[in-house]
Amino acid sequence: MQSDVDPATLDEAATAIRAGDLVVYPTETVYGLGADALAPDAVARVFEAKRRSRDEPLSLAVPDVESAFEFLRSSAVVRAFADAFLPGPVTVVGERMPVVPDELTGGRDRVGVRVPDHPVALALLDRVAPITATSANVSGRGSATRVDELDAEILEAVAVVVDGGPTPGGGSTVVDPERGEVLRRGALADEVETWLAER
């Protein structure tokens, strides 16, 4: 995975996110659409760009496991799971902290949190976090693994595209460790299911 993105581009992307704009950034699965995850107006723009139902929650991304627990309520099982699988292509779902806006979760009391295992995503998150963690595509269309695969509608909606080269594809496995549920199978799904079964 390419990590030699110009720091000035990452600075520009971070500035855009702080201003309420959208950016595209690479992850260890596909390209993501990033905005300030705590700003309702910015989150609304993500839904609009993706043409996604407001009832379908978005996840958020943070730079490290410890940061996850600013937004996700900690418990022994959630912390153990996060320590085992993050950073990596896994979204951990659990009870949200009060700082997380209803707009991100569709009003639900649970939130999904990612710590991407990609140097460019982490470099961006070191500059600004949390940001939305959702694929950079119009809902119902294929996810982009390269910048030249991005939908025209997404390109029109974003202020900055951070090109980190090709990404591996696939999607994160979405897991609610407290409930022992795999909500979406993706990368590492077998390992996740084994971990849950052994709890």
Q: How many domains does the chain have?
A: 1
Spatial contact of 38 and 152, defined as CB atoms under 8 Å apart: no
State the residue range of the domain holding 13.
7-197
The reported pLDDT for the residue numbered 97 is 98
Q: Is 147 within a domain?
A: yes
- 199 residues of the chain, pLDDT tens digit each: 445 799 999 999 999 999 999 999 999 999 999 999 999 999 999 999 999 999 999 999 999 999 999 999 999 999 999 999 999 999 999 999 999 999 999 999 999 999 999 999 999 999 999 999 999 999 999 999 999 999 999 999 999 999 999 999 999 999 999 999 999 999 999 999 999 999 8
CA distance 51 to 109: 23
What is the 3-state composition of the chain as percent helix, strand, coil, each rounded to the nearest 5?
A: 35, 20, 45
**Selection from 166, 157, 154, 46 nearest residue 118 by Cα:** 166
CA distance 53 to 145: 23
What SS3 class is residue 116? coil
Q: Is 1 within a domain?
A: no
Give me the helices (H) in the chain, please.
7-18, 40-50, 65-68, 76-85, 102-105, 119-127, 152-157, 189-197
Q: Is 92 within a domain?
A: yes
Specify the pairing of strand 23-26 against strand 160-161: parallel
The CATH number assigned to the domain holding 51 equals 3.90.870.10
Q: Is 58 within a domain?
A: yes
CA distance 6 to 172: 26
Q: Is 2 within a domain?
A: no
Handedness of CA 172, 72, 74, 67 (dihedral sign): positive
The reported pLDDT for the residue numbered 66 is 97
